[in-house]
Chains A and B, each alone.
Chain A
Amino acid sequence: MTNSDLNRYKDKAFQVFGICCTFLGLIVLAVFLIDILIKGLGRIDWDFITSLPSRRAMRAGILTAWVGTLWILVLTALIAIPLGVAAGVYLQEYARKSRLSDFLEINIANLAGVPSIIYGLLGLEVFVRQMGLGESLLAGAFTLSLLVLPIIIVTTREAIKAVPGSIRDASLALGASKWQTIWMQILPASAGGIMTGVILSLSRAVGEAAPLIVIGALAYVPFVPESPLDEFTVLPIQIFNWVSRPQEEFLINAASAIIILLFITFLLNGIAVYLRYRQQKKVKW
């Protein structure tokens, strides 16, 4: 075998390996979804969705868990979106290149790398204890807001960066003030990109269990939360609780709850992908 034959052989071998690795992800995803569907689909019915938790697997439902997840989703959005978009706008439109802006940038990158469980410890000490919110929905939403804030800030900046300077210049030339330019031109033009980032960050928040366990969210909540100061549980915590039990029936409950959770996260991601696609198609600067 000549050298060039050998090289061609290596090239082909790596191509096969590459195809295997690339499709490995798809296969794992498929195996996984099929496994979950087989285990869990049979258990999902109206009772499962509308029943309170129970010590007996066949009577247990996820009503408190999905209502808690919905509360957390809405509260986190209300807290994190204004804060994150405002910070993103400041960094992209107002901050001059200075020590302060460099520091803010590095700091945000660092926050994005802090493990979620550390945010749980922060929430436990600051929101649950110091601010006296207790183990409430509000404490959970504040904690998750801090967790997703870096994602919202970074995507807001990216979206604003993509707006061409000519729009800004035209608005300023017509006599609009800086804020009028941002509010009436830049934000509407970048809304699609910002929304994509916001939805992705909310889908992250919906799937988080660790920080909420640390702030003391309970697995067993026998009532549906009615105000932001009520105790709560969420779907990922309910799943964790069921997975940690030895009985087979609870694993089936966990699989069913996972189907509901995946439905919510895939729905959110689908909306985000759709918004991004529409934005890319519509906007031709």
Chain B
Amino acid sequence: MRVKEKIIEGLLLLSAIITVFITVAIIWVLLSESVSFFREISIVRFLTEKEWTPLFAEKKFGILPLVSGTFLTTFIAIAVALPVGLTVAIYLNIYSPGKLKLIIKPVLELLATIPTVVYGFFALTVVTPFLQSFIPGLAGFNALSAGIVMGIMIVPMISSLSEDAIGSVPLSLRDAAFGMGSTRFQTAFKVMVPAASSGIVVSVILAVSRAVGETMIVAIAAGQQPRLTLNPLVPIETITTYIVQVSLGDVPHGSIEYKTIFAAGITLFIFTFALNNISFWVRKKYQEKYD
């Protein structure tokens, strides 16, 4: 009996430890291939060259165009998702009657479960033609419509995490504000949002991290032309799209082109890893404690 209990505990521990192996394996895979990439291409070239053309005859290995493409789509997505998501959170928490929230929340969650290829299809076949009807210079592939659709995808994430944060502010604060004669608007923006600010900041950081790593929407709708620009109307390429582009082609294992996807991958991993850890830190350090 004792022995059996110990064996089971050991097996369960092993399952938990596997998660550590996954992290180690991710870092090892990304590092080992990137190190061999950086043996051929210096890190200085990688970080300072202004063109990314590893698949062309004349190869340039500057990651900046991919990074700028990634940030451009991410920025557009957050510019859409933050105002809308935060407004929804405030509206559901402070304005809306209880029943509405019970209906709206599951529907917003449904938005979050739609596969991202489907959002990509939507961006390419609905949003881009719609925007082209009043933005004449808009290319068929562009950062703008991919970013907007990515923003719509992220709204539920920001609204639900922010709503949780606002909901965990003690009701006594809200009642005190109402008691002093504040309107709902004043209560929301002068009391509840400041009190929930750490949770809201965390939701935004996690949304940025999600947008940076998002793949299929940008691969379908934003184009495959790496260029160092902040113009949202022209085709660009993100880090994730580049990895997909190479994976679809026939690049031999061990070649420099093959190694580029790991160099791009480790760049992406560093961004998301940093963002996630900043969010843990914010949550831990600035979490308001109420008694």
Q: CB distance B5 to A178 under 8 Å?
A: yes
In the complex, A42→B276 CA distance in Å? 44
Q: Indicate if B44 sits at the interface (CB-CB under 8 A).
A: no
Complex interface: chain A residues within 8 A of B212 (CB):
115
How would you classify the secondary structure of chain B's contact residues: helix, strand, loop or mixed? Answer: helix
Complex interface: chain B residues within 8 A of A103 (CB):
20
Size of the A side of the interface (Cβ < 8 Å), in residues, is 86
Q: CB distance A110 to B122 under 8 Å?
A: no
Q: CB distance A104 to B19 under 8 Å?
A: yes
Within 8 A of A (CB), among B19-34: 19-20, 22-23, 25-26, 29-30, 33
Query: What 1/0 flags go to A217-241 for Cβ under 8 Å of B?
Result: 0010000000000000000100110
Q: Indicate if B132 sits at the interface (CB-CB under 8 A).
A: no
Q: CB distance B87 to A21 under 8 Å?
A: yes
In the complex, A178→B4 CA distance in Å? 11
Q: CB distance A117 to B19 under 8 Å?
A: no
In the complex, A148→B106 CA distance in Å? 21
Complex interface: chain A residues within 8 A of B92 (CB):
22
Complex interface: chain B residues within 8 A of A50 (CB):
none
Q: CB distance B19 to A150 under 8 Å?
A: yes
Query: What 1/0 flags go to B193-230 for Cβ under 8 Å of A?
Result: 00000000000001001001111100110000000000
Q: CB distance A22 to B118 under 8 Å?
A: no
Complex interface: chain A residues within 8 A of B184 (CB):
11, 14-15
Size of the B side of the interface (Cβ < 8 Å), in residues, is 82
Q: Indicate if A171 sits at the interface (CB-CB under 8 A).
A: no
Asked whether A207 and B22 contact (CB < 8 A) given A113-B272, A129-B253, the answer is no
Q: CB distance B240 to A28 under 8 Å?
A: no
Tell which of B50-58, B71-79, B262-270 binds the partner: B262-270
In the complex, A261→B121 CA distance in Å? 13
Tell which of B35-43, B59-67, B168-176, B243-251 binds the partner: B243-251
Least Cβ–Cβ distance between B53 and chain A, in angstroms: 21
Q: Indicate if B88 sits at the interface (CB-CB under 8 A).
A: yes
Q: Indicate if B231 sits at the interface (CB-CB under 8 A).
A: no
Least Cβ–Cβ distance between B223 and chain A, in angstroms: 11
Within 8 A of B (CB), among A235-285: 236, 239-240, 243-244, 251, 254-255, 258, 261-262, 265-266, 269, 273
Complex interface: chain A residues within 8 A of B186 (CB):
7, 11
Q: CB distance A122 to B118 under 8 Å?
A: no
Within 8 A of A (CB), among B103-153: 104, 106-108, 110-111, 113-118, 120-122, 124-126, 152
Q: CB distance A22 to B104 under 8 Å?
A: yes
Asked whether A117 and B243 contact (CB < 8 A) given A18-B90, A90-B12, the answer is yes
Q: Indicate if A165 sits at the interface (CB-CB under 8 A).
A: no
Complex interface: chain A residues within 8 A of B107 (CB):
25-26, 29
Partner of B247, one of A82, A153, A200, A214: A214
Q: CB distance A255 to B121 under 8 Å?
A: yes
Q: CB distance A118 to B248 under 8 Å?
A: no
Asked whether A210 and B269 contact (CB < 8 A) given A18-B88, A21-B87, A22-B92, the answer is no
Q: CB distance B244 to A117 under 8 Å?
A: yes
Q: CB distance B9 to A17 under 8 Å?
A: no
Q: Indicate if A172 sits at the interface (CB-CB under 8 A).
A: no
Most chain B Cβ neighbours within 10 Å, of A110, A113, A153: A113
Q: CB distance A207 to B115 under 8 Å?
A: yes
Complex interface: chain B residues within 8 A of A125 (CB):
29, 33
Could you write out 15 A-B pairs with CB less than 8 Å apart? A11-B186, A18-B95, A21-B84, A87-B16, A90-B13, A109-B280, A114-B213, A118-B265, A122-B22, A149-B22, A179-B4, A214-B261, A240-B220, A243-B125, A266-B110
